[in-house]
Structure 1
Amino acid sequence: MTKQMQSQLVLKNEDAALHLLDQTMGYTYQAALRAVAQLGVADYLADGPKSVVDLAQAVGAEPQKLQRLLRVTATRDIFREVEPGVFELTPAADYLRTDADHSLRSAVLMLTDETFWRPIGELIESARGNPPFRHLYGKSFFEYWSQAGAQAEDFHVGMSSMSEVENIFLVRSYEFPDGATVADIAGGFGGLLLRVLQTNPSLHGILYDQPHVLERNRLGELADNSRWELSSGDFFKSAPKADIYLLKYIMHDWPDEQASLILKNIRKAMNPGARILIMDPLIPEGNTPHSGKLMDLLCMGIYEGGRERTKKEFEQLLASADMRLNRTIDTGCYVSIIEACAV
């Protein structure tokens, strides 16, 4: 081949072209991760490395195909091939065990459920102003799960699994004032409030949510029913009186108008000197990688107008409710604490 012919086979920015093609196949990794989580592979590696043949027999899979799944997850340090055809747990893969402390298997299965990934595949609808989830399922995300019956348990268990890990980062990052009343707004089963009360013995807690959610609360695990109470209501209409308000993954569910209404209702109810702790990803400016930017696209796919926000966007949202951003707290994970108070 002549040099002239070779010159015709040179691409401008060749590595960039290959990088682009590589990025288009990213979903295959999550598919592999979901498959090995569904198979329960991690449970069979708890006592040490095993051959893919033994693993396949244990989980009911074909050895060659299981190896192909595991070698993909191993490229991101979830499982490790220690010798040809033999795999072991990594610290990340250990969290896929069903019996692990703070197991994340349910969270992985929730986040890779079709109700999350299908809307992501239809983000073009969102870009055109059509909510992807409603486009696919004929109803909103919240309507879908409220009507899902027994299947909804998978969603709630997944959220609880995800939160158990996140809550450790959040609670240790904030110094709660002694003797304060802490209200967890739309706090679900109360996992976050439970963690706050367990680590702060002088606090009193209020779990605020809808009646059918409150009846499944976990606060009895505190073993002191005098330190907490349940309050049912609609945050678009009211809020309980308190000194500290927890809003974890609430603001990102809603567009500004509805998010502002929630804050205004809290503003009316809050005690003098009270604080609101918004617990959402805080999106950095520029090209910095951040898990919150990925979660923002999840919001774009499954919610109707919900999104993650930058610091400036939080400041504008709070100002609409006669509040101000007091400070932001880096918790060491992708969820930040945005502390706000009345103007």
Structure 2
Amino acid sequence: MNEETSTLRSLANIILRAVDSMERAYAQAALPLPSLDKSFEDLYDVYTFDPGDPAEALTQDPRVVAASKNLVAACAQISATVSNPRRIAINHAHGQLNEMGIDIKLKDQIFCLSACHIFREVSPGVFANNRISSTLDKGKPSRELSSNRETRFVGSSGIAALVEHAAEMGGKSAQYLAQSLRTPGLLPFNLGYDTKESFFEWMERPESIYHVNRFAVAMQGTTAMEPEDLNVFRGFKWSALPYASVIVDVGGGIGHVSLAVAKKYPHLRVVNQDFASPIEISKAHWKECFPDHLDKQMVDFHVHDFFNPQPVRNAAVFLLRQILHDWPDDKAVVILKNLSEAAQQETQLVVIEKVVPFASTQNPEDSKACTIRGAKQPVAEAPLLPNWGAAAADIYPYDLMHTFHGGIERTAQGFYELFAKGGWKLIEIHQSAGTQMSHLVGVPA
């Protein structure tokens, strides 16, 4: 048996073990495995995704999470190994084209998506939702969606808003990526939208209100993609903060993360900071979701630009969720310095972001970050790629934030160096199975 055949057999064995593990978990819970397409009495019935369904909830069981990662990684690696390499290259190019929506008719997009198991073709040229496409449902009647465009995403899970934001603004900006490399000082966003303003400055225009509302809900969608307890609570110990400790949600948008923390630990005060438009949305969001905290005056709303000096001087925690990845190092350092200069000795910095893993075996001796508690990342079994390959690949396209603001996703070493330049010492990284988000905790240097 040659080496390549042996690799295929090893990958196949990983798949079989993962299937056994997943089936065992669902059998023990007496629940059916999630199906891409339900069996409908009426062929034209639509699938409605329900994250509260016990079978869906079980997808977050650690055994199922581990099995799923191995399945996705191994299946993709086998596919890449045995497929025609020319076809793979062309299909990836077509995939990017489809995501950007360039010169592709809606009908052709639906055909393409159904071939990729998004939507189902119930009869020739007739399509219906399946488990994947139903996650884009905004939960509103079409009449309401068409009559009130500015608020069409408000009240939804945020997934549809995130998809539209990425496809429209990200796709349009990405078309100018190559040109921007030949145009110093201008990002793809600037070229695509014919402006010299930054993305956030452009979003402050009155005519950008639709994009502002969509972006605010889209940021909620980034949380909805992962279980709340994994994303927010399996990391930094919010419960250990004393009564009336102040959490400053820096660039918090509608404040959905700090709101989740406050609802679970109502003894904590919150200051939500952002530009004027999202702050107005935030006030309404908190009033709807947690009016008791407003009545008790345990939450404040500040219009604040984090590139300016931080006005709050009694913070127990400065919270930055998916903020630093929007900016290159020089600007991210400014944000961190403004916080460190306002910090007290006991103030902590909590950064919730993705820590980029390597697709090669890492040598811990090459990184100072290896000395940080919790920094060591899990590694997949061979012959899978150490970072689980396709099962974790969606972390890398987030580098397309460059098209908006010149931002970057960072490795543990990248965060270690960034914290130091910004006046903070990285002391711990919390990583949890089932989520790509990590909690990076720092203290004043």
TM-score past 0.5 threshold: yes
1:248 and 2:313 aligned: no
Q: Which amino acid aligns with 2:266?
A: P
Contact 2:212 2:277 in 1 (8 A): no
Q: How far apart, in 2, do the equivalents of 1:212 and 1:302 lie?
A: 19
Q: Could you list the per-position Cα deviations for residues 49-107 of structure 1 after superposition, in whole angstroms to 9, with x for gaps in the alignment?
A: xxxxxxxxxxxxxxxx7664333212333222356555442222122112086252222
Q: Secondary structure at the match of 1:276?
A: strand
Aligned to 1:132: 188
State yes or no: 1:146 paired with 2:204.
yes
Matched, 1:95 2:198: no
Which whole-Å CA distance do the structure 2 matches of 1:116 and 1:184 have between them?
Answer: 25
Measure the CA separation in 2 of the matches of 1:160 and 1:330.
25
Q: Check the 8 A contact 2:216/2:278 in 1, yes or no.
A: no
User: Partner residue of 2:304?
Assistant: 233
Give deviations 1:88-146, integer Å, cap 9, x for gaps: 42222122112086252222211111x32122122223444442222331323223222
Structure 1 residue 197: Cα displacement:
1.1
Which of residues 153, 167, 175 is equivalent to 1:112?
167
Report the CA distance between 1:230 and its aligned residue: 2.0
Cα distance between partner residues in 1 of 2:106 and 2:336: 49
Matches within 5 A, 1:39-118: 68-82=108-122, 87-99=127-139, 102-113=157-168, 115-118=169-172
Alpha carbons of 1:98 and 1:210: their partners in 2 closer, same or farther (altered >3 Å)? closer
- Number of equivalenced pairs: 297
Deviations 1:238-272 (Å, cap 9, x if unpaired)? Answer: 22231112112221222222211211121122233
Matches for 1:16-27 after TM superposition, within 5 Å: 16-27=85-96
Q: Which amino acid aligns with 2:256?
A: G
Q: C-alpha distance in 2, partners of 1:119/1:212?
A: 23
Which residue of 378, 382, 394 corresponds with 1:291? 394
The AA in structure 2 aligned to 1:316 is E
Residue of structure 2 in register with 1:5 after alignment: none
Partner Cα separation in structure 2 for residue 267 and residue 172 of structure 1: 24
Q: Which moved more, 1:130-139 or 1:307-316?
A: 130-139
Alpha-carbon distance, 1:207 to partner: 1.0
1:272 alignment partner, SS class: coil
Partners of 2:276 and 2:122 in 1: CA distance:
51
Instruction: Name the SS of the counterpart of 2:136 in structure 1.
Output: coil
Q: Distance in 2 between matches of 1:164 and 1:202?
A: 26
Cα RMSD between the aligned structures? 2.8
Matched residues in 1 for 2:248 and 2:158: separation?
27
- The unaligned stretches of length 5 or more in structure 2 are 1-81, 141-155, 361-386
> Conserved in 2, the CA contact under 8 Å of 1:207 and 1:231?
yes
* Contact 1:261–1:321 (CA under 8 A) maintained in structure 2: yes
Work out the CA distance in 2 between the residues paired with 1:119 and 1:32.
12
Distance in 2 between residues matched to 1:18 and 1:153, nearest whole Å: 39
Structure-2 residue corresponding to 1:3: none
Cα distance in 2 for partners of 1:19, 1:254 equals 32
- CA 1:79–1:143: 2 relative to 1, 3 Å: same
Counterpart of 2:402, as a letter, is M
What is the TM-score normalised by the length of structure 1? Answer: 0.76
Does structure 1 conserve the Cα–Cα contact (< 8 Å) formed by 2:324 and 2:332?
Answer: yes
Residue 273 (structure 1) aligns with: 346
Contact 2:204/2:277 (8 A) holds in 1:
no
Identify the match of residue 223 of structure 1 among 264, 267, 291: 291
**AA paired with 2:113?**
T
Secondary structure of 2:84's aligned partner: helix
Contact 2:353 2:437 in 1 (8 A): yes
Q: What letter corresponds to residue 328 of structure 1 in structure 2?
A: I
Distance 1:165 1:229 in 2: 24
> In 1, Cα distance between the equivalents of 2:349 and 2:164?
31
Residues 248 and 86 (structure 1), Cα distance of their counterparts in 2 relative to 1, 3 Å cut: same
Q: Which has the higher contact order (CA 8 A, sep 6+)?
A: 2
Deviation of the 1:339 alpha carbon:
1.9
The structural deviation recorded for 1:309 is 1.1
TM-score by length of 2: 0.60
SS in 1 for 2:333: helix
Query: What one-letter code is carried by the residue in structure 2 that aligns with 1:22?
Result: N
- For residues 147-166 of structure 1, what are the structure 2 equivalents within 5 Å? 147=205, 149-166=206-223
**CA pair 265-185 structure 1, distance change in 2 beyond 3 A:** same
Aligned to 1:321: 422
What amino acid is aligned across from residue 133 of structure 2 in structure 1? A
Mapped contact 1:108–1:158 kept (Cα < 8 A): no
Higher mean alpha-carbon deviation, 265-274 vs 123-132, is at 123-132
Query: Hey, what's the Cα distance between the residues in 2 that align with 1:209 and 1:135?
Result: 26
Alpha-carbon distance in structure 2 between the residues aligned to 1:108 and 1:295: 13
Q: Give the SS at the match of 1:95.
A: helix
Q: Percent of aligned pairs with the same residue?
A: 24
